[in-house]
Amino acid sequence: MALHAYCGASARPFLLSRSYLHHKNIRVIVSSSVVSIVTGPKALVKEDKVKLGGSDLKITKLGIGAWSWGDTSYWNNFEWDDRKLKSAKAAFDASLDSDITFFDTAEVYGSRYSLGAINSETLLGRFIKERKEKDPEEEIIIATKFAALPWRLGRKSVITALKDSLSRLGLSSVELYQIHWPGLWGNEGYIDGLGDAVEQGLVKAVGVSNYNEKRLRDAYKQLSKRGIPLASNQVNYSLIYRVPEENGVKATCDELGITLIAYSPIAQGALTGKYTPENPPTGPRGRIYTPEFFTQLQPLLNRIKDIGQNYNKTPTQVALNWLVAQDNVVPIPGAKNAEQAKEFSGALGWRLTDQEIAELRSLASETKSVIGFPVEKL
């Protein structure tokens, strides 16, 4: 792509190449016969919204995952303090300031069920309240999830859990409510509960998470009988964990018009370039992403870095852009602080070339997937 632009009183043309536009964070808007050039990172993300599945809900092409907020069982090195609380709040504010308005949480994040310090929904509710006090009209889109715990039976349990979530969030409704994982039994009842939540006006859209192809089709069909779209399926998906492409989940989402929400889109930090064989992650992630794994991953990380330099982008932004480029995919990286949230916003407003997308997939295929919720077996 190249653009002839005109500048100054002489209106002499000059050529803007695609690489120049990407490098300078310039977005070109064509409307009728008018070509506008808009600069700056915030201008890049304003237009980046997509319809969530067959619902009427529109969300940003990238959201923020709040799994780590309040958690001590997997994140935060088993401790939660005031400093980490302030960092999470800064991540929330920085996301909104960067025009990322979609936040994903769950009733089990940071709760007693996950040995957490404070419920993620409770924290998010506080952040929303403080933000709304400054600007009551600001758009903030919330998704949360129902935990399919073994003792929860039938459709009423979904509504009960949802109302508890709303209480923690301090909201009368949320935009998206999801079943966190398939239950051991009673999945038909859970799906009925999602439908009830829509009809009672407690949610705008409903989805599932960690559902395989068969369960996905069944849920879609069951909700369709009530005229309610299944808006999303949230699964583990990244450049180095492409199981949704292999087990039919991605193809089914595309076929049925269900948005695939990708959690762990930067493989819990493995694709950021932060970690090396000499400096692997600590805590539980260190037992998954080992020095041997990072040795295997190095050729891919090196190429991601090289490509990023061509666009003036970080490895994190390249890895997230690769997912967005798959179409019908909304990644939700977890942000622990403002710096991470700002970096994530830089993944939008530009696109890798088809050749780069294919090259990264080919390199990634040489790396063995090491983590993922086994949705293909559920």
Catalytic residues: 109
Q: Tell me the residue type at 29.
A: I
Of residues 42, 45, 38, 46, the one with CA closest to residue 21: 38
Distance, in Å, from the CA atom of 129 to the CA atom of 169, rounded to the nearest integer, reads: 9
With contact defined as beta carbons under 8 Å apart, do 344 and 96 qualify?
A: no
Terminal CA-CA length for the chain: 45
Largest CA distance in the chain: 75
